[in-house]
Amino acid sequence: MIIRDGGLNQQKIPKRERRREFQDFVKMINYKSLPLLDDTVTEVLLEQVPGISGTLDMNNSAEGASNRIANLAGNLRYCIREDPERVIHPLCNELPFHQIDASEITEDAEIKDGIFHVSHNQRLYILKVVNRPLYWPRDTDVIRKELESLACFYNVPNSVHTTGAAASDNPYKTFKTRNVPPVVIGILLEAHSGGSLQQAFAEHRTGVHFHEAGWTHMDIKLSNVVRDAEGTPY
């Protein structure tokens, strides 16, 4: 929800108090009166100018409240749109990979933001999730491109292969009975027990000159090269 300041003097009030005041105001809104969008995230924009689309309706708790924003509710007009910054999950039917029900996947440990060691049917995987910290909508396009690349290099030696897609109901599904296509919440990759080259360097266990050995990689980040139990790089 976004409210555009139309007369509130926010500078004289501490940020924490303003945040609490806004949170209290949000709880007073009668959301049943708003034409919220189904199966997605609705963004509500409020302004103190007439003629946008409708008057904001409040719950009874707003009557007599000392909340400054609630006291302006009679002059607020709203408009709605689909949240442009929502997390966008690819549809399962976009991808040619085997689907594994996300509810059957067990999270073991987080490797870094958005990347986890997981297991399914006693087999270990790496899970890269779509909804990662500091997500931006273009990240979904990056995920799609990565999946296309993984499909092209499937079964190519010395490359990490995808083993499937973690699938789930659309997290924005409005009604349980609605027939909404399942979505991809993450990519499942092979797990290699040797860890990454970054870990190996940190542990001072190798001094191999990779270019001299003919090891190449499109993105030469140490954390992007992993090794199996015998030390073979991927």
Determine the structural domain holding residue 150 and report its residue range. 92-191
pLDDT at 98: 87
Asked if 208 and 169 sit in the same domain, the reply is no
Asked if 156 and 182 sit in the same domain, the reply is yes
Asked if 110 and 179 sit in the same domain, the reply is yes
Asked if 131 and 157 sit in the same domain, the reply is yes
pLDDT at 205: 46
Strand order in the sheet with 77-82: 2-3, 42-47, 77-82
Domain annotation covers residue 8? no
Domain annotation covers residue 173? yes
Domain annotation covers residue 122? yes
Report field, pTM of the whole predicted structure over 0.95: no
pLDDT at 198: 56
Domain annotation covers residue 5? no
| Chosen domain end from 64, 82, 100 | 82
Asked if 181 and 120 sit in the same domain, the reply is yes
Nearest residue to 4 via CA among 74, 85, 78, 56: 78
Number of domains in the chain: 3
Asked if 78 and 104 sit in the same domain, the reply is no
pLDDT at 206: 45
Domain annotation covers residue 4? no
pLDDT at 207: 45
pLDDT at 17: 86
Domain annotation covers residue 212? yes
Asked if 186 and 228 sit in the same domain, the reply is no
Residue 146 maps to which CATH number? 3.30.200.20
pLDDT in 10s for each residue of the chain, 234 residues = 666 555 555 557 788 888 888 898 888 899 998 999 999 999 998 887 655 445 778 887 766 667 777 777 777 788 899 999 999 999 988 877 889 999 999 999 998 899 999 999 989 999 999 999 889 989 999 888 888 887 777 777 766 778 889 999 999 999 887 888 899 999 998 887 666 545 555 544 444 445 555 555 455 565 666 656 666 666
Asked if 101 and 121 sit in the same domain, the reply is yes
Asked if 187 and 198 sit in the same domain, the reply is no
